Structure 1
Amino acid sequence: MSDVTFQRQAEWAPQKEILMAWPGLEGILQDYPERLAKATQEVSNLAAAIANFEPVTVVVGTERIEEAEAHFAEVEAPFPITAHRIEGDSMDVWMRDIAPVFVVKNGPGNDRSLVGLDYNFNGWGGRYPTPTTIHAAKMILKDLKIERIETSIVTEGGALEADGDGTLLVTESSIVNENRNPGKSRQEIEDELVRTLGIKKVIWIPGRPGLDSTDCHIDALARFVRPGVIALSKANEKEPTDWTVVYEEALEILSSATDAKGRPFEIVEIEEPDEELFEGGGFGDDRAVRSYVNYLLVNGGIILPRFGDPAHDAAAIRATQLLFGDERRIFPVLVDELPRLGGGIHCSTQEVPLFP
């Protein structure tokens, strides 16, 4: 395998489609029918928004496939939304973490192909594993007829932010953690990230274990806009908590760091909505995730979270317009249940690159 390399493309590279999922009736929301219905509606609204830009495939468990097919048959959009059946009844919505991470495999000569990395999803360190989700990556790759690449570490797609130019952002708390990779050193984990993603430089942000259900994924904290430019979620808390400290540490580290090409970073901060919107917190003891940088880039557009905070929603749209200019159409989508369940727009999607 020494003559084989992998390359994770940036999210702004051309995409074939977006993968999403409906929650299963026997999944983690089985005892919360109202929340299950709200989550289903929000991911369906997101799918309809994304279908203005490119095709969407919604992975649905056996018991809900007919319901999903009937629902999406009524959606009018420029691109198709396809309900894809998967074995099992305990699917979850967080496809960024459950689905494979797609990379380009470079072989001898001009041999190149799209493959999927299976990072051994274990329910975010054993918090919420289900029989369907822990095998979903393997099943999806089989159905898509895409080669599965085994890896030696446990992590999730939301823990990995690549610029497509050799630089990776990660939080230490979400990967160098005994609940994912017991006994493995940071260097051992970094070596596997370098191997599987084609990375030249990894920038580690401390994060905080146990801060939320993901142990502080990078995709709610810092995102590449393009090489050398980072959108950073600015904490907005009346009484600072560990989350404010995580943001301050990230700002300090990124302000003095350079990327794989030696470029310093331009950092644009986007303040979170007011915390009063999410009184009562998230799911269980987890905090709600209220981050505007948990957006999704699609072909010619950006699906931007809207939280129902008029001032902060408008400020986030203005900041996004300044960051992306006229190159992308901004499409805001209101989310309320997904943040309470521990994620957002980016967390509930996974792009399949257009290849070749």
Structure 2
Amino acid sequence: MGWPGWEGILKDYPERLVKATQEVSTIAAAIAHFEPVTVIVGAERVEEAEAYFAEIDTPFPIKVHRVEGDSMDLWMRDIAPVFVIKEGPGDDRSLVGLDYNFNGWGGKYPTPTTVDLARNLLKDINMERVETSIVTEGGALETDGDGTLLVTESSIVNDNRNPGKSRQEIEDELVRTLGVKKVIWIPGRPGLDSTDCHVDALVRFVRPGVIVLSKANEEKPTDWTVVYEEALEMLSSATDAQGRPFEILEIEEPDEDLFEGGGFNDDRAVRSYVNYLLVNGGVILPQFGDPAHDAAAIRTAQRVFGDERRILPVLIDELPRLGGGIHCSTQEIPLFP
């Protein structure tokens, strides 16, 4: 996870920066009930972060990792490497980091610290960096771990990230770097938010063959409702890499009329229950302050995850207004070996 820096994209909004830091820290403490957490912090906030987490008592440790630069951001899903297991040569296997050349979500919000974070972090932890030929973010990639990748076309086949590259060229690189066998492209819509409609707030895997879809909840349908409807139609007739049809469960988004104020820089606030985080033995599930929909999301999570995972709900308000959620603010590292 990451703490936002004082000179990052929130430098002109100190109150929002403080609120975002608090919510990220709350999520970190929730995750630390299931597994260790590392919080990436710019040099100017390291002492503050170390003092804060020293007061937090959790079953697993929360470690602060210092990076140079004061323009750190909190959206680790997108700015951090994507960690994968590299096979070969021979029987060798190793944990490596994919660097997908983060460019500030298509040039919208690049900072000196974030555009170089993947490279610098991998150097810090002495892990192999695997170069890639495309620009994308971790929040644009959703895999079932069994050969299937879900992506939105609008967030990758976009001239603000991959000018001149065809969808097939981009797909070939995704297959090469992620080891998947089938890529399912959901249309999405460019320009609807800062991410150009990342998949991780739209549809997620529960397990191979089972997906949850964020159901739009708009009195007057907009492009967001169309994105949801297109995704539902496409996934209802699709099969995964193993030829299985999808079991689709929908989780309706909260009622927007319960919230005052919108998103960051006129973007829509992202209040999606499917932007949860899977941790070892648990699910960190977002809650937004809509009692009926929050409770319904918990019931659905309990039904789909059953006894295999404990549901830990976490209330967030500032992160959705800044354009993301729990999954967006985290990046997991596979357990290896």
TM-score clears 0.5: yes
Structure 2 residue 71 is matched with structure 1 residue 95: no
What is the DSSP-based 3-state SS (H/G/I as helix, E as strand, rest coil) of the residue aligned with 1:243?
Answer: helix
Structure 1 segments of 4 or more deviating over 2 A?
A: 277-280
| Partner residue in 2 for 1:204 | 185
| Displacement after TM superposition at 1:326 (Å) | 0.7
| Partner residue in 1 for 2:234 | 253
Q: Deviations over 1:21-40 (max 9, x none)?
A: 00000001001010000000
| Displacement after TM superposition at 1:276 (Å) | 1.8
| Partner residue in 1 for 2:25 | 44
Count of matched residue pairs: 337
TM score, norm. by length of structure 1: 0.94
2:224 to 222, 243, 247: 243
| Partner residue in 1 for 2:109 | 128
What is the DSSP-based 3-state SS (H/G/I as helix, E as strand, rest coil) of the residue aligned with 1:353?
Answer: coil
What is the DSSP-based 3-state SS (H/G/I as helix, E as strand, rest coil) of the residue aligned with 1:223?
Answer: strand
| Partner residue in 2 for 1:153 | 134
Aligned partners of 1:63 and 1:89 also within 8 Å: yes
Aligned partners of 1:278 and 1:340 also within 8 Å: no
Q: Deviations over 1:67-123 (max 9, x none)?
A: 000000000000111111000000000000000001111112211100000000000
What is the DSSP-based 3-state SS (H/G/I as helix, E as strand, rest coil) of the residue aligned with 2:211?
Answer: strand
Task: Provide the C-alpha distance between the structure 2 equivalents of 1:48 and 1:103, rounded to a whole number of angstroms.
Answer: 25
Structure 2 residue 333 is matched with structure 1 residue 352: yes
Task: Provide the C-alpha distance between the structure 2 equivalents of 1:286 and 1:145, rounded to a whole number of angstroms.
Answer: 38
| Partner residue in 2 for 1:314 | 295
1:183 to 149, 164, 169: 164
| Displacement after TM superposition at 1:160 (Å) | 0.2
Task: Provide the C-alpha distance between the structure 2 equivalents of 1:306 and 1:280, rounded to a whole number of angstroms.
Answer: 17
| Partner residue in 2 for 1:116 | 97
| Displacement after TM superposition at 1:241 (Å) | 0.6
Amino acid at match of 1:37: V
Ranges in structure 1 where 5+ consecutive residues have no aligned partner: 1-19
Matches within 5 A, 1:12-31: 20-31=1-12
What is the DSSP-based 3-state SS (H/G/I as helix, E as strand, rest coil) of the residue aligned with 2:197?
Answer: coil
2:197 to 209, 216, 220: 216
| Partner residue in 1 for 2:51 | 70
Aligned partners of 1:22 and 1:43 also within 8 Å: yes
Structure 2 residue 321 is matched with structure 1 residue 340: yes
1:328 to 309, 312, 323: 309
Q: Deviations over 1:146-205 (max 9, x none)?
A: 100000000000000001111000000000000000000000000000000001100000
Aligned partners of 1:278 and 1:288 also within 8 Å: no
Aligned-pair RMSD on alpha carbons?
A: 0.6
Task: Provide the C-alpha distance between the structure 2 equivalents of 1:188 and 1:320, rounded to a whole number of angstroms.
Answer: 36
Q: Deviations over 1:318-341 (max 9, x none)?
A: 000110001000000000000000
| Partner residue in 2 for 1:294 | 275
Task: Provide the C-alpha distance between the structure 1 equivalents of 2:127 and 2:69, rounded to a whole number of angstroms.
Answer: 21
2:214 to 229, 233, 239: 233
Task: Provide the C-alpha distance between the structure 1 equivalents of 2:164 and 2:146, rounded to a whole number of angstroms.
Answer: 30
Structure 2 residue 260 is matched with structure 1 residue 272: no
What is the DSSP-based 3-state SS (H/G/I as helix, E as strand, rest coil) of the residue aligned with 1:284?
Answer: helix
Task: Provide the C-alpha distance between the structure 2 equivalents of 1:145 and 1:333, rounded to a whole number of angstroms.
Answer: 33
Change (3 A) 1:250 1:89: same
| Displacement after TM superposition at 1:279 (Å) | 3.5
| Displacement after TM superposition at 1:63 (Å) | 0.3
Amino acid at match of 2:249: V
Task: Provide the C-alpha distance between the structure 2 equivalents of 1:144 and 1:158, rounded to a whole number of angstroms.
Answer: 22
Indicate the structure whose relative CO is greater, using CA pairs within 8 Å and at least 6 residues apart: 1
TM score, norm. by length of structure 2: 0.99
| Displacement after TM superposition at 1:144 (Å) | 1.4
Aligned partners of 1:257 and 1:264 also within 8 Å: yes
Task: Provide the C-alpha distance between the structure 1 equivalents of 2:260 and 2:143, rounded to a whole number of angstroms.
Answer: 33
| Partner residue in 1 for 2:123 | 142
What is the DSSP-based 3-state SS (H/G/I as helix, E as strand, rest coil) of the residue aligned with 2:332?
Answer: strand
- State the identity as a percent: 84
Ranges in structure 2 where 5+ consecutive residues have no aligned partner: none
Amino acid at match of 1:211: L
Task: Provide the C-alpha distance between the structure 2 equivalents of 1:184 and 1:99, rounded to a whole number of angstroms.
Answer: 23
| Displacement after TM superposition at 1:145 (Å) | 1.2
Aligned partners of 1:305 and 1:333 also within 8 Å: yes
Aligned partners of 1:254 and 1:265 also within 8 Å: yes
| Partner residue in 2 for 1:303 | 284
